Structure 1
Amino acid sequence: MSVDNRRTARKAVTGDSAPREIRRRPKNRRAQIAAASAAAFGSLGYHGVSMEDIASGLGISSAALYRHYPSKYALFREELLRVGRAMTESVELPEQAEAEPAPPRERLRQVVDALIGATIENRPSVTLVRWEGRYLEEPDRQTLDEQQLTVLNALGDRLGELRPELTENDRRVLRAAMLSVITSIADHHATLPSKSLVRLLSSACLAIADAPLPPAEKTARIPVAIEIPDSFKHELLLRKAVELFHDRGYPNVSVEEIASAAGLSAASAVYRFYRGKSDLLAAAFRRAAERVSGAIGPAVAAASGPEAALTDLIGHYVEGSFAERALTFVYYTEFQHVPAEERTVLRNIQRLSVEEWARLLREVRPELSPAEARFLVHAAFALVVDLGRSFDSEPFAAQARVKLLMQVVLFQRPALA
């Protein structure tokens, strides 16, 4: 307890051995609770945190916590919608800016920089908005969706001023890509000074705004899933588990449901192939991580230089993500449910992959620091999953466009032919 939160009573009797300390609640207790809960939810997910965990982290009792919030959901809801409001308010241009309009590029930059600032300020909680919002109850989820749409519309309006030739769908793709790049900082723990980070992300967003999108495809190309023979039960279980985790969230899926989806008569049959639900998740994640890491060596060996190698890796990453959309999404949303020892292995694989991409990128753009290159690599990865969940197989967000946008994020231009 700090000195400011103490008061000392006078001795009532001269024989008292010591003054009695009177404890007072800090005036900012709700803010402390919100910050602690955001950190806990961001680290362990909504389902991985209890009110007791949050209270313990603050050094208070559960009863004291319940005096401020009636439930874990109330804490979760308040924090998500608070961050949603902060992001929404950040994209509102000041009245003076509306009365004396700046050139379109400057107006876009103002909105982008303000949104980046709000995201940096709320970085621990933005991860909740990105990946845990689906656990909100329907009215609250609608509110969060409306907040996010307001942000997207602000970006789209500025884009329309800058590039009036864009179609509505083109603007939708570009604005979603910019928001993805900005909020991708919630997906990792790399650090940069705030001014450097604003400058880096702003530059990437303006490069996206200028991107020369290839023509949209006329029809959607839906990847055809490879047929798995019934005898390959371990593969079938893996696929069905990932599909269920994607549709409903890992905590809401039982082993019995996975067994049923794979055509097994009982949950006990799953244990012939996997130790449990978390083992299924870990196996899927190992496959996703190794798909990315395993492509690096061959790409570098076959390429004429670092840009060609990265361009090849971008193509491999996008094609793999499109082929396994559910797995790509689950990899981002359910990582905290992987057993701790597996998380360490997976983080090491991912870290080495990011480092190799960042090393190649710095050979193409030597002006970047190692940290800046890592931020851009994370942003490029996030862009793929975000466009996938926003537009699925819509032809205006097809692979050719996603590949080009990854190139623009990394190189600030399309890759050289």
Structure 2
Amino acid sequence: MATRRPPNRKAQIRATAAELFLQHGYHNVSVTDVADELGITASALYHHYRNKQDLLLNAVLDSLDTVDALIRDADDLDAALRALAALVTGPRSVLAVWEREARNLETAQRAAIREREVAAVSRFVPLLRAERPELSEHTAHLVARAVLGALGSRRRHRISLPRRRHEQLMLDLGRLVAFAPLPTRPAPEAPTSVPAGPPPGVAGGGLRRGRREQLLTEAIRLFDERSYQSVTMTDIGEAAGIVASGVYRYFPSKTDLLVAAVNRGSEQLRAATETALAQTGDSREVLTRLLRAHIAISLEQTHLIGILANERDQLPDKERNTLRRLQSDYLNVWVQALGNVLPERETPELKVIVHAAHGMIYFTIRVSGTDPWPDLPQRLSDLGLAMLTGARNTSGTC
């Protein structure tokens, strides 16, 4: 007797592909790998999807559709937050597929995803403004992005908490961001055009960077925007205005460029941490300085932060282990500072809260793009402090 095809086969394929992309990286997964995981042939998979790129596009769209549907079906803000908290603490890393893997899509496909991102955020805004009518449309969009960023931080760690406890914590963190007190400020005027950046190799004030610095700067940008494995030495050379053979005079391999980029990002985080801890103050002041330093680096070095977040697995073993230790040390500094403010919280919960703050900052900056937010550092600080200092554990809830 012939085996009957499951009615949800396409959804199974998308879900399996998404998990494999997240576990191993898009470029390390083949269509055959996805088929083998499902126990079907590659030809059977091609019956549903044209190629791996088509599969990735649909996996990302599926993640966006899932988030969009939860928001659309919610009767109010709290219902939306509950649904999203349940989603992110569930077995599937839905938001991670959207956030990390969409950069592997083609340019036109990324533009389509960008439109869907805006639509999902926009759907959240009316629910938010129904509870907070004092927020302008502009500010509500920013808060909506911050909420999604905080909740989506779940993909950035493997901290184990009991499911119900973890879900409640994420719900409480989402509420803290959604209802964060924000100083009343006039909405910034949108610029008529986005200022063009300096040409390759030119820094601020018209000063020309050294060739090695040009190459590293362009490599950092390209690795973050397209993913490390999608970028060639020729791409980097073209971006810096030289031929590919010229790149090898400064960096023997693409791996050397990635290692240099990661070392730079790690050093900047370490230096910012030392500066924040060198000043005196009470526990809340120390935490505030750490938060503001992290926001400043995230805004000034967005591509570096993206590489630290997404390209660790592409490093050689020695450098990957070194980066893992440095990131662990950085997290522990934050956990100690937050633990002094929230002494009733256990260490695993403190780690989840710190990751939520970092995820909120990262995601908000990334999806804000060229939106006019001249006061974004202060807004992010307001939202971050509300979440960090408000996450108290009283009667089982924040």
> Normalization by structure 2: what TM-score?
0.82
Q: Distance in 2 between matches of 1:146 and 1:171?
A: 18
Q: Spell out the pairing of 1:330-345 with structure 2 (5 A cutoff).
A: 330-345=307-322
Q: What residue number does 2:19 align with?
A: 39
- Deviations along 1:368-405, one digit per CA (max 9) or x if unpaired, are 22121111211211222222222346236521111222
CA distance in 1, matches of 2:172, 2:152: 15
Contact 1:387 1:397 in 2 (8 A): no
Give the one of 350, 373, 389 matched to 2:327.
350
Task: Report the counterpart of residue 78 of structure 1 in structure 2.
Answer: 58
Residue 173 of structure 1: how far off its partner (Å): 0.8
- The residue number in structure 2 matching 1:244 is 222
User: Percent identity of the aligned residues?
Assistant: 29
Correspondence for 2:133 among 164, 173, 194: 164
Mean alpha-carbon deviation: is it higher for 55-64 or for 282-291?
55-64
The verdict on how the C-alpha distance between 1:273 and 1:76 changes in structure 2, with shifts beyond 3 A counting, is: same
What SS is found at the alignment partner of 2:343?
coil
Measured after TM superposition, the shift of residue 41 of structure 1 is 0.4
1:279 aligns with 2:256: yes
Q: Compared with structure 1, are the counterparts of its residues 248 and 143 closer, same or farther at alpha carbon in structure 2 (3 Å cutoff)? A: closer
CA contact (8 A) 2:32 2:42 kept: yes
Q: Give the aligned partner of residue 409 of structure 1.
A: 387
Pairwise mapping of residues 34-73 of structure 1 onto structure 2 (< 5 A)? 34-57=14-37, 62-63=42-43, 65-66=45-46, 69-73=49-53
Q: Against the structure 1 CA distance between its residues 273 and 136, is the aligned structure 2 distance closer, same or farther, given a 3 Å change threshold?
A: closer
Q: Deviations over 1:6-32 (max 9, x none)?
A: xxxxxxxxxxxxxxxx99689587666
SS in 1 for 2:68: helix
Question: Contact 1:159–1:171 at 8 Å: present in 2 too?
Answer: yes
Match of 1:206 in 2: 175
Paired position in structure 1 for 2:298: 321
Alignment partner of 1:400 is 2:378 = yes
For residue 160 of structure 1, report the CA deviation from its aligned partner.
Answer: 0.9
Query: Is 2:85–2:168's contact at 8 Å kept on the other side of the alignment?
Result: no
Cα shift at 1:207: 1.7
**Alpha-carbon spacing, 1:325–1:72, altered in 2? closer, same or farther (3 Å):** same
Between the aligned partners of 1:121 and 1:362, the Cα distance in structure 2 is 27
Letter in 2 for 1:169: H
Question: How far apart are 1:283 and its partner, in Å?
Answer: 1.4
Q: Which has the larger radius of gyration?
A: 1
The answer as to whether partners of 2:177 and 2:387 remain within 8 angstroms in 1 is: yes
Task: Assess if the C-alpha contact under 8 Å between 1:216 and 1:397 holds in 2.
Answer: no
The answer as to whether partners of 1:43 and 1:336 remain within 8 angstroms in 2 is no
**1:410 Cα deviation from its structure 2 partner:** 1.4
Structure 1 unaligned regions, length at least 5: 1-21, 98-106
Gap change, CA 1:30 and 1:201, over 3 Å in 2? same
Structure 2 unmatched ranges of 5 or more: 392-398
1:197 matched to 2:197: no
- Tell me which of 116, 122, 138 is aligned to 1:153: 122
Alignment of 1:66-215 (within 5 A): 66=46, 69-93=49-73, 107-121=76-90, 123-136=92-105, 144-145=113-114, 147-214=116-183, 215=185
Distance 1:262 1:150 in 2: 35
C-alpha distance in 2 between matches for 1:67 and 1:319: 48
- Structure 2 distance, partners of 1:291, 1:81, is 35
User: 1:30, 1:93 → 2: CA distance?
Assistant: 23
**Taking structure 1 as the reference length, what is the TM-score of the superposition?**
0.79
* 1:228 and 1:235 in contact (8 A); partners too: no
Deviation at 1:130, TM superposition (A): 0.9
